[in-house]
Amino acid sequence: MNRKIVIKVGGSILSTSDSNLFDVENAKKIKEILEPFFLLGDKFVLCSGGGYLSRKYQKIAAEAGADIKKQHFVGIAGINLNAEMLSTIFGKHADSFIPRYENFDTINNLEVKNNVLISAAGSLVH
């Protein structure tokens, strides 16, 4: 088929609670669902969100006196961490480059070299 498919992987799927800051089982399920499509030549861009992890740290930052801009950057750090973890789960299927928020002004064309490109680009405001 050779399609390129973009999927937003909401942070609420990846990071659900204090006891489950990164849900490995949910990430593995996503991988299992997509793997058959790799054999067909389909490629994916998975855009990771921050979920509970980002919201928790944004709240801590706010309580420590961070302004809204700083809170956004704290949330972005959570998105980056979830993207790194998702990339770990996909292993050899994932491209090594993870586009991040700060890269978006400089990237013109993204190429999915392996089966999956993980992007750290979820919602910035919670």
Q: What is the pLDDT of residues 57-107, one digit of tens each?
A: 999 999 999 999 999 999 999 999 999 999 999 999 999 999 887 766 677
> HSE (CB half, 13 Å, CA atoms) of 99?
19
Tell me the whole-structure pTM to 2 decimals: 0.89
Phi and psi dihedrals of 80, rounded to 5? -60, -45
Q: What percent of the chain has pLDDT over 90?
A: 80
pLDDT higher than 70, residue 124 = no
Q: Give the chain's mean pLDDT.
A: 90
CA dihedral (69, 95, 27, 37) positive or negative: positive
